[in-house]
Amino acid sequence: MTAFAAPIAEQIWDMKYRLKEADGTPIDTTVEDTWRRIARALASVEDDSDAWEARFYDALEGFKFLPAGRITAGAGTGRSVTLFNCFVMGTIPDTMGGIFDGLKEAALTMQQGGGIGYDFSTIRPKGAAVAGVAADASGPLSFMDVWDAMCRTIMSAGSRRGAMMATMRCDHPDIEAFIDAKSDAARLRMFNVSVLVTDPFMDAVKEDGPWDLVFDGKVYKTVQARDLWNRIMRATYDYAEPGVIFIDRINAANNLNYAETIAATNPCGEQPLPPYGACLLGSINLARLVSDPFTDAAAIDEDALADLVATAVRMMDNTVDASRFPLPAQEAEAQAKRRIGLGVTGLADALLMTGLRYGSEEAARQTEHWLHAIARAAYLASVGLATEKGAFPLFDADAYLQSGTMQAMDADVRAQIAEHGIRNALLTSIAPTGTISLYAGNVSSGIEPVFAYAYTRKVLQKDGSRTEEEVVDYAVQMWRDLKGDEPLPDHFVNAQTLAPLDHVRMQAAAQKWVDSSISKTINCPEDISFDAFKDVYMAAWDQGCKGCTTYRPNAVTGSVLSVSEASEDAPGEAPEQVRGTAAAVDGEVIYISEPLDRPNALEGQTYKLKWPDSEHAIYITINDIVQGTQRRPFEVFINSKNMEHFAWTVALTRMISAVFRRGGDVSFVVEELKAVFDPRGGAWVQGKYIPSILAAIGGVIERHMIATGFLEGEGMGLKSDPQAQVVNLDDGNRGKACPNCGQYTLHMAEGCLTCSSCGHSKCG
């Protein structure tokens, strides 16, 4: 017998959360050992630690309460890692020294495994005067490039690279460049970016009024608000970024608006935080709490839910005391406010089990009801902790109860807070739960819809072979176990079939009872019109959301895992008997298997690259071959009199040329070279920070590809490739491979490109 509901769950546990010796020898022999380790660590701060360890273990048992990955992997290990997921760094001073002090703090935070957010609105715009040095400012985006290069070199706990969020106010003079920054696919790859949208801006958009771009009291430019809004929308439509954060709404609702001002969020957006703000995460697994699933009596026992929430709140409050922090300022901030982010996962599965169609008005009402019950139980539990252990140090009853969130809270809860105080300033958040949802048996993640009812993944075995296994959604597997071959009911819907406004309805319903924010992706069909796409964002604003993130697959963003209904009947079954089941993801990209022969003569171009502080220039020759009507790169030669570079330039010449001669989409070579960071430091070249000589070479190759028509433009990817034939066996596209496991099971959820096979996520 095993506690795991699916093979993938045990594999994720073993890979991500199981405590092992440095040589890989397991310390946690079973998942029960993992639960015991976490329970003991979080109970260690209690006076009666044995009793609370038992209570905490009971909450963890059966995957009912899921602490976030950093807690699950780090609690009780004795390792120097933070158990907090989310950090927003300090306000960036508009000085060179202050900027690089902030860079150092960011590196220290990511080194311990924290994802960070930064507001770059405080840096003066490009071209502004810099007093005392007779120079113009390079602007915030140039420093974002430096942050991006730094982040590439920092390996987070759990072998993930750091993740960052960059925000900028909608009235900053460089906002247009910020909006367009991610159009270069090789730029700011370690950042998610979001625009801080204010209430006056939204009013101006609706009125089609003028909008001033201002810094330090000076108006640099006036634009039409609707034009700027459309520019944000167009960039998001084309490149999936920037996101939109309704920052005034966040600050008005914030329980702590009397003590802090928020201008940034963590990488996935569910935690708006003040300077040096920190928050930890955990989720109630609703899918495990439904009794009598798929019957008229299906329901969640709300008394049991309230009891589980109370235990989870205590566990998370204890984590504040049990965790390490990268910076003293972060620890001080966490101790002063004791923020926690308790959320849910498995919502879509719970709705399926209770007979509700995700996205319907009835499902939205049920979601609001469940989230209200959780919020109420969480606040009452925190009041109880305040009577026992004291309120958070910055608690001010009158000011606290005046916030927008507390104005909407139940009167009896408000009265309890007024009388006894509250232990945690903020308590609820909906976090990305991609990996822990797989670990819990492939339940639907967060408040997202089920992405695919089933798919096939290839599993690498110890002997090097690969076997195939079916990965089934938790609710679908439960249906199979209870109903056998009965067809799935009509209320079973997934992300492929939902209208975007159904997503908005669900996000808005949950937001009413979430005091922080929500990490959610609104998946849009590729063929959605631009006007309909803009309507999604306006609906999010009108319905009270605190932000909006969408994903529309296209040639620029890339296709991700897609599923389709089974196109052929199973033997002996009628068509409706396979309705709602997801086919395996089919499709294959076929590239040239043998290198092309080299003609006797090729057309080419030689470029001179002068690297600052280097005595000798580097000469780069790129020769092309013409296939049909397309000219494409065939070989590269890199030469320099500097013998220090001889070995690696010869190696680079041979490797790049070998790749070019294989054909297919070789534009990735440019992206990889441009991403190389030299730990000794890069250089400013023609007003742009280049992180290494290799990145500069990549830039030269990219410019050549653009000049010859092989690429559309900088960062735009392959224009067309007659040598790459895409074969689709269904209506979908296999899309990109996961960089961690190589499987073609990437999908966009909760603001993150996430792998269904291994749990890898860009955002941490």
- Say how far apart CA 653 and CA 423 lie, in whole Å: 62
338-357 average pLDDT score: 97
418-422 average pLDDT score: 98
Q: What angle do CA 124, 130, 135 make, to 5 degrees?
A: 120
CA distances from 602 to 632, 634, 656, 697, 700 (A): 11, 9, 17, 21, 19
Look-up of token digits 């009509």: 490
Catalytic status, residue 268: yes
Q: Is the dihedral of CA 304, 307, 308, 309 positive or negative?
A: positive
573: confidence class by pLDDT, cuts 50, 70, 90? very low
pLDDT tens for each residue of 87-127: 999 999 999 999 999 999 988 888 776 779 999 999 999 99
- Say how far apart CA 35 and CA 57 lie, in whole Å: 6
Q: Beta strands 160-161 and 522-523: pairing type?
A: unpaired
668: confidence class by pLDDT, cuts 50, 70, 90? confident
Percent of the chain whose predicted confidence (pLDDT) is above 90: 59
577: confidence class by pLDDT, cuts 50, 70, 90? very low
65-74 average pLDDT score: 94
Tell me which of 641 and 230 has the higher pLDDT: 230
Has residue 459 got a pLDDT over 80?
Answer: no
Least confident of 20-34, 517-531, 585-599: 585-599
Percent of the chain whose predicted confidence (pLDDT) is above 70: 83
pLDDT at 497: 84
pLDDT tens for each residue of 353-405: 999 999 999 999 999 999 999 999 999 999 999 999 999 999 999 999 999 99
pLDDT at 679: 65
DSSP state, residue 68: -
pLDDT tens for each residue of 693-703: 888 898 899 88
Element (H, E) at 130: strand 129-130
Catalytic residue (one of 266, 318, 424, 733): 266
Contact 710, 670 (CB under 8 A): no
- Say how far apart CA 630 and CA 663 lie, in whole Å: 12
Least confident of 81-85, 248-252, 394-398, 729-733: 729-733
582: confidence class by pLDDT, cuts 50, 70, 90? very low
688: confidence class by pLDDT, cuts 50, 70, 90? confident
pLDDT tens for each residue of 309-332: 999 999 999 999 999 998 999 999
pLDDT at 737: 61
CA distances from 450 to 438, 503, 545, 747 (A): 12, 12, 21, 11
573-590 average pLDDT score: 30
156: confidence class by pLDDT, cuts 50, 70, 90? very low
SS3 annotation, 482-549: HHCCCCCCCCCCCCCCCCHHHHHHHHHHHHCCCCCCECCCEECCCCCCHHHHHHHHHHHHHCCCCEEC
- Say how far apart CA 133 and CA 540 lie, in whole Å: 46
Has residue 485 got a pLDDT over 50?
Answer: yes
pLDDT at 584: 31
Q: What angle do CA 201, 203, 204 make, to 5 degrees?
A: 65
Highest mean pLDDT among 176-185, 241-250, 675-684: 241-250
pLDDT at 1: 57
Catalytic residue (one of 86, 170, 268, 758): 268
553-571 average pLDDT score: 50
Phi, psi (deg, nearest 5) at residue 683: -155, 155
CA distances from 127 to 90, 100, 134, 174, 208 (A): 25, 20, 12, 10, 28
432: confidence class by pLDDT, cuts 50, 70, 90? confident
Strand intervals (E) in 333-478:
340-345, 454-460, 466-472
Look-up of token digits 């599923």: 563
pLDDT at 43: 97
pLDDT at 576: 30
| Average pLDDT for the chain | 85
pLDDT at 642: 74
- Say how far apart CA 134 and CA 83 lie, in whole Å: 46
589-611 average pLDDT score: 70
pLDDT at 611: 81
Has residue 441 got a pLDDT over 50?
Answer: yes
For residue 422, which amino acid is it?
I
pLDDT at 384: 98
Q: Is the pTM of this model over 0.85?
A: no
Catalytic status, residue 362: no
Catalytic residue (one of 10, 53, 270, 635): 270
pLDDT tens for each residue of 621-639: 999 887 666 788 889 998 8
Has residue 544 got a pLDDT over 90?
Answer: yes
Has residue 488 got a pLDDT over 50?
Answer: yes
Contact 575, 581 (CB under 8 A): no
pLDDT at 501: 96
158: confidence class by pLDDT, cuts 50, 70, 90? very low
pLDDT at 755: 74
Residue 461 structure tokens: 């075995």
683: confidence class by pLDDT, cuts 50, 70, 90? confident
673: confidence class by pLDDT, cuts 50, 70, 90? confident
For residue 452, which amino acid is it?
A
Can you tell me whether residue 438 is helix, strand or coil? helix
Can you tell me whether residue 734 is helix, strand or coil? coil
Catalytic status, residue 266: yes
Tell me which of 344 and 601 has the higher pLDDT: 344
Has residue 128 got a pLDDT over 90?
Answer: yes
Phi, psi (deg, nearest 5) at residue 452: -140, 135
